[in-house]
Amino acid sequence: MSVLVNKDSKVIIQGFTGSEGTFHATQMIEYGTHVVGGVTPGKGGSEHLGLPVFNSVSDAVQQVGADVSAIFVPPPFAGDAIMEAAEAGVKVIVTITEGIPTADMVRVKSFIEGKGIRLVGPNCPGVITAEECKVGIMPGFVFKKGRIGVVSKSGTLTYEAADQIVKAGLGISTAIGIGGDPIIGTTTKEAVELFMNDPETDAVIMIGEIGGTMEADAARWIKEHATKPVVGFIAGQTAPKGRRMGHAGAIIGGKDDTAAAKMAIMRECGIHVVESPADLGATVVKALAN
């Protein structure tokens, strides 16, 4: 078992023939991901990277059984691309696109609600099940197979966490980059729940940042329901109030949005909190030993 994607996932790329879609589809294929084709309206019936191109996601689902989509569609059209994939029955939709208008994501969230669809992102690095399947832009060589799950708002800190885990002699089950926009599909709490229910994950690293309540919500759920150790880190410890730091959602709006406040809540809920991402690997090792 794995979380969200595995070697059997049938992946399509929306925005397949564009420069971003082409580059990252090539990387995904080289990693071993079972990419079965892509979607570019108007180019259906052609081939790209030796794979079929479809006019619609519905065609891809019907003809090659696609069940996972990676979206590299430009921001003005990405919301519609997500809803097209959802309407076609794709169960895992990983949206890499950055800069999707918030109003579009409000519509997307409403549209997919109750459909049994897992949206990851937008503005995220994607999902990787180590040495099986990469959906997104993560550098695959960093991720070695193991039993530690990672959920992160930050792409680069996802890679740093993976590197720390590998250097500590452990490895990754699945890493989920949830994205840092104000409105995203999968929350920190939901990702942690997936790992708690995964028999191939022994511990979880949870990386958050300033702004919003996702980490606090996850921490309170962990306090009540966790069956595995969780190690946490919050980025933005020196961020000033009211200034956006990196991600659109990374802005301190009140006293509970600060890194210090989030770290305090996490500690109170039994999470092993580190002050620096350099300590993630060693702290996981200690948490597993206790």
CA dihedral sign, ordered 86, 91, 97, 100: positive
Distance (Å, whole) CA 145 – CA 131: 6
Q: Of the residues 24, 34, 48, 247, which is catalytic?
A: 247
First to last CA, the chain: 25
Distance (Å, whole) CA 213 – CA 219: 10
Write out the two tokens for 67. 């069940």
Write out the two tokens for 281. 């690997």
Q: Which residue, 9, 34, 227, 27, is CA-closest to 143? A: 27
By the 10 Å C-beta count (0-12 exposed, 13-18 middle, 19+ buried), 91 is classed as middle
| Residue 154 near residue 207, CB atoms below 8 Å | yes
Within a 10 A sphere around the Cβ of 11, how many other Cβ atoms? 25
By the 10 Å C-beta count (0-12 exposed, 13-18 middle, 19+ buried), 216 is classed as buried
State the amino acid at position 128 in one-letter form: I
Distance (Å, whole) CA 170 – CA 168: 6
Distance (Å, whole) CA 157 – CA 175: 11
Rounded to 10°, the helix 188-196/214-225 angle is 30
Alpha carbon 155 to chain centroid, angstroms? 9
Q: Which residue has the tokens 């961020």?
A: 239
The answer to whether 48 is a known catalytic residue is no
Distance (Å, whole) CA 22 – CA 224: 44
Query: What are the residue numbers of the active site?
Result: 247
